[in-house]
């Protein structure tokens, strides 16, 4: 376990989220009692990272159920369906959000749940299962990756994919953690990850607590390190992996992948199968979130551009599958051709 919790359900129908906007300066937890405020917390990036926002949304539905005054299951189901729509609007790119909401709502549809109390319990139990499973999946991703990590590995990582971006342990950062915990001597080079600086603020904060050697680098420095030093691999997380392996992830991932290929450095994507969206054929079909201009024009409270400048702020990009060496999941490591091999893996029970 980490010394902090990104997401925690408390007795009495409270969801506690670690406010990631305030890290690393302050460790502040916010308590939520309704689904609508959880949707806002996802939008504002109090909680962020694909698996974490999926679990938060599931708990958002659990809050709706826990605090509902509905007297019939039909009325409660309607409240949950309305809240599911609100939560779906929170952010568009990470498929885990939609996956988790759909999973809870398919439980809600179970005709065997004929009493209001039983339905409330079932919603909470499903949200808790999603959260617990996420931790187990992440650890398995880390174990599956171990043969790919040499001893004394230098690894470039983008964004934050650790315990903060998940319920616990992490995906790409979880791989680095697992290698470290298994006795390998790893050095993580953390892309700072403009504009929200998830690498500099969050990944560095996590690895510092875990005693894992790292250094923070500017996003634009990764090519320099790959050209001038032996970098063993790059590993990133994912917000949505299309059926052909094209991968949406934090803006800047595509640049990193292109430079990795130019320097013959293996480029791995680490994600649970809950991030694989077989209904999306390729990366062009993934909606890329455009975020507010202030994320580019200011750092903290400091304005860094002239007033009223035009800004483009896509939060994610798509890395075409042919730049990806392998996709590391809890079910195993998938190599190209991804169209064929992701299909085989996802169809296996
Ligand atoms: O905008 P964010 O911070 O929610 O984006 C998060 C990322 O892109 C992560 O790298 C990705 O979600 C993987 S999360 C394990």
Q: 285-342 pLDDT, tens per residue? A: 999 999 999 999 999 889 999 999 999 999 999 999 999 999 999 999 999 999 999 9
Where does the pLDDT of residue 2 fall: very low under 50, low under 70, confident under 90, or very high at 90 and above?
confident
The CB of 252 under 6 Å from ligand 1? The reply is no
The CB of 245 under 6 Å from ligand 1? The reply is no
Residue 316: strand pairing partners? 250
Cα of 314 vs centre of ligand 1, distance in Å, is 13
Name the residue of 7, 41, 199, 237 whose CB sits within 8 Å of the most ligand 1 atoms, as the mutation to test its pocket: 237
Q: Which residues are catalytic?
A: 239
Q: Residue 205 above 90 pLDDT?
A: yes
The CB of 50 under 6 Å from ligand 1? The reply is yes
Give nearest CA residue, ligand 1 atom 13: 237
Q: What is the pLDDT of residues 22-34, one digit of tens each?
A: 999 999 999 999 9
CA distances for 20 relative to 29, 48, 81, angstroms: 9, 8, 28
The CB of 203 under 6 Å from ligand 1? The reply is no
The CB of 198 under 6 Å from ligand 1? The reply is yes
Contact (CB, 8 A) for 6 and 47: yes
Q: What is the pLDDT of residues 116-136, one digit of tens each?
A: 999 999 999 999 999 999 999
DSSP assignment letter at 270: E
Instruction: Determine the CATH number of domain 7-139.
Output: 1.20.120.420
DSSP β-ladder status, 233-236 and 154-157: parallel
Cα of 198 vs centre of ligand 1, distance in Å, is 8
Predicted model pTM: 0.97
Is residue 10 helix, strand or coil? strand
Distance CA 86, CA 80 (A): 10
The CB of 250 under 6 Å from ligand 1? The reply is yes
Cα of 279 vs centre of ligand 1, distance in Å, is 21
Cα of 91 vs centre of ligand 1, distance in Å, is 12
At the topology level, CATH places domain 144-347 in: Rossmann fold (3.40.50)
Backbone angles phi, psi at 236, to 5 degrees: -135, 165
Structure tokens at 266: 């293996």
Nearest by Cα to 63 from 101, 34, 103: 34
Give nearest CA residue, ligand 1 atom 15: 161
- Mean of all residue pLDDT scores within the chain: 97
Place of tokens 């079910």: 331
Backbone angles phi, psi at 37, to 5 degrees: -70, -25
Where does the pLDDT of residue 349 fall: very low under 50, low under 70, confident under 90, or very high at 90 and above?
low
Q: What's the rounded mean pLDDT across residues 39-65?
A: 98
Distance CA 236, CA 141 (A): 13
pLDDT value of position 1? 64
| Rg for the chain, CA atoms, rounded | 20
Q: Report percent pLDDT > 90 for the chain.
A: 98
The CB of 239 under 6 Å from ligand 1? The reply is yes
Cα of 125 vs centre of ligand 1, distance in Å, is 26
Domains of the chain, by residue range, sit at 7-139, 144-347
Q: Residue 283 above 80 pLDDT?
A: yes
pLDDT value of position 348? 81
Name the residue of 92, 198, 276, 315 whose CB sits within 8 Å of the most ligand 1 atoms, as the mutation to test its pocket: 198
Nearest by Cα to 54 from 112, 104, 16, 116: 104
Sheet of 233-236, strand order: 214-217, 187-191, 154-157, 233-236, 267-270, 326-329, 332-334
């Amino acid at each position: 376990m980490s010394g902090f919790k990104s997401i925690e359900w408390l007795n009495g129908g409270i969801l506690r989220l670690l406010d990631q906007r305030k890290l690393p300066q302050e460790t502040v937890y916010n308590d939520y009692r309704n689904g609508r405020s959880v949707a806002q917390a996802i939008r504002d990036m109090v909680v962020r990272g694909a698996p974490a926002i999926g679990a938060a949304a599931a708990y958002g539905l659990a809050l709706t159920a826990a605090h509902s005054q509905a007297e019939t299951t039909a009325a409660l189901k309607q409240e949950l369906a309305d809240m599911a729509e609100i939560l779906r609007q929170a952010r568009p790119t990470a498929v885990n959000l939609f996956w988790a909401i759909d999973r809870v709502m398919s439980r809600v549809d179970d005709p065997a749940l004929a009493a209001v109390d039983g339905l409330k319990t079932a919603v909470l139990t499903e949200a808790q299962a999603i959260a617990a499973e996420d931790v187990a999946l992440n650890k398995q991703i880390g174990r599956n990756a171990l043969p790919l990590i040499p001893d004394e590995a230098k690894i470039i990582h983008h964004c934050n994919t650790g315990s903060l971006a998940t319920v616990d342990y992490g995906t790409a950062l979880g791989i680095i953690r697992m290698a470290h915990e298994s006795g390998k001597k790893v050095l993580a080079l953390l892309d700072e990850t403009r504009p929200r600086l998830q690498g500099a603020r969050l990944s560095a904060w996590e690895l510092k607590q875990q005693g894992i050697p790292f250094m923070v680098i500017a996003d634009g420095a990764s090519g320099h390190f790959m050209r001038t030093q032996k970098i063993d691999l790059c590993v990133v997380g994912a917000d949505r992996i299309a059926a052909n392996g094209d991968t949406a992830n934090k803006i800047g991932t595509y640049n990193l992948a292109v430079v990795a290929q130019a320097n013959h450095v293996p480029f791995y994507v680490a994600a649970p199968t809950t991030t694989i969206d077989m209904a999306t054929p390729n990366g062009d079909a993934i909606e890329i979130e455009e975020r507010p201009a202030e994320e580019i024009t200011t750092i903290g409270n400091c304005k860094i551009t002239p007033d009223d400048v035009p800004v483009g702020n896509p939060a994610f990009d798509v890395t075409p599958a042919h730049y990806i060496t392998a996709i590391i999941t809890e079910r195993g490591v998938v190599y190209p051709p991804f169209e064929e091999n992701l299909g085989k893996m996802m169809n296996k029970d």
